[in-house]
Amino acid sequence: MTPRLRPDNNLPVFNESGVVLCQNDSVSDIHPICLSRRKSNQKQAKPRAENQFFRMNNLSISEICCLFCCPPCPSKIASKLAFLPPEPTYSLMCDDSGSRWTLHLSERADWQYSARERDAIECFMTRTSRGNRIACMFVRCAPSARYTLLFSHGNAVDLGQMSSFYIGLGSRINCNVFSYDYSGYGASSGKPSEKNLYADVDAAWQALRSRYGIRPENVIVYGQSIGTVPSVDLASRYESAAVILHSPLTSGMRVAFPDTKKTYCFDAFPNIDKIAKVTSPVLLIHGTEDEIIDFSHGLALYERCQRPAEPLWVEGAGHNDVELYGQNYYNNKRW
């Protein structure tokens, strides 16, 4: 059985105070907007499943053989470990003109709003440089918003599952949200891979600029977990208003083998080598007790940044339970 990356499981719900939450079977998590310290008496949630991507020492001999020999290609190995696309929670239907797409959400998408809010979501397909067609979503939460988030989500969700969260996020911080599904996720064609990640985010960036006329200085590049990989790659080549990296990894080898000190030619997702090329301000968010991607990854990336903002290190928080609030985020002096 091929070992898999533990799902992020960031399915959006909301509490009575209107705070955006992310819910899984064992813990309710507040999705990152701005820092708040966890309550000292809150019990650390135990992961539902062992994350083999980040716990290579626990692999059986048969799992290691399957991982590294079928086929013995670094990019294929990375794909096996890092991507866990869910069963699609939405579909896109095109009209007769071929220019307008309609979003249909399944029950698994857990939509939290009315049809009126759904009308604020525009979806379409665009083609990447590698020939895949990826689904894109633009959530116009605030028509007069200055900034638009280019959001790269985690490894085990799709646009359908994230749609409610994007509505809540944009409404709380007066910001529009643009997101996309990686190749092999949701309605996107192809298969997830490292090369496709970079082509996917490039296509999303170009679509955001050409279709909506949004200038780079009004785009905030946001990546979470595996989403920090395309975000750092994009930000290393294009300047934007800012970059936000939530629970980032330095590289695949450094996550799987923590004692790794250098980047090998076969290492996947080398954020640690690309972050120094990012000229935009970078905000790093990381829980000090992250059980999936160790806190040391956030520290290492922070030390390599050209223009680091004051980081948000959340004491006691894990990978999916960083507690943050909304409105104070963009006014924070860290920027």
CB count within 10 Å of CB 154 equals 24
Token code pair at residue 124 = 């379409």
For residue 180, the SS3 value is strand
Q: Which residues contact 234 (CB under 8 A, 6 or more apart)?
A: 150, 198, 201, 202, 205, 221
Catalytic annotation, residues:
225, 290, 319
For residue 282, the SS3 value is strand
For residue 13, the SS3 value is strand
Element (H, E) at 91: strand 90-94
DSSP string, 208-233: HHHHH---GGGEEEEEEGGGHHHHHH
CB count within 10 Å of CB 21 equals 17
- Within the chain, residue ranges assigned H as helices are 61-69, 74-82, 115-118, 159-173, 194-212, 228-235, 252-256, 271-274, 295-304
CB count within 10 Å of CB 42 equals 12
Chain centre distance of CA 153: 3
- Please give the radius of gyration of the chain, using alpha carbons only, rounded to the nearest integer: 19
